[in-house]
């Protein structure tokens, strides 16, 4: 099997190899395993905070004509 690795990445891997004294295969396997594990875990979603406030209606909703009057009004 042949694996093509970007030249810049290969240089970084070789630096790691010299620093850690491990084989390239072991370093690449470890880094790939970490990357694949991160992909499998779902990102943590931020907690939803639901904010509510009283709306204080500006029209009496039981008055049908008042509601239609507001809906038909053009505020442009």
Whether the predicted model's global pTM rises above the 0.75 cut: no
20-64 pLDDT per residue, tens:
999 999 999 999 999 998 888 777 888 999 999 998 888 888 999
Count CB-CB contacts under 10 A for residue 26: 11
Is the pLDDT score of 76 beyond 60? no
- Domain coordinates of the chain in residue numbers? 7-40
Token readout for 51 is 């904010």
- Gyration radius of the chain over CA positions: 31
């Amino acid at each position: 099997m042949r694996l093509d690795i970007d030249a810049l990445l290969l240089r970084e891997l070789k630096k790691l190899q010299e620093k850690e004294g491990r084989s390239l295969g072991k370093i690449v396997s470890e880094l790939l395993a970490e990357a694949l594990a991160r992909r499998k875990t779902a990102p943590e979603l931020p907690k939803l905070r639901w904010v509510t406030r009283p709306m204080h209606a500006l029209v009496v909703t039981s008055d049908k004509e008042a509601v239609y009057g507001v809906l038909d009004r053009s505020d442009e």
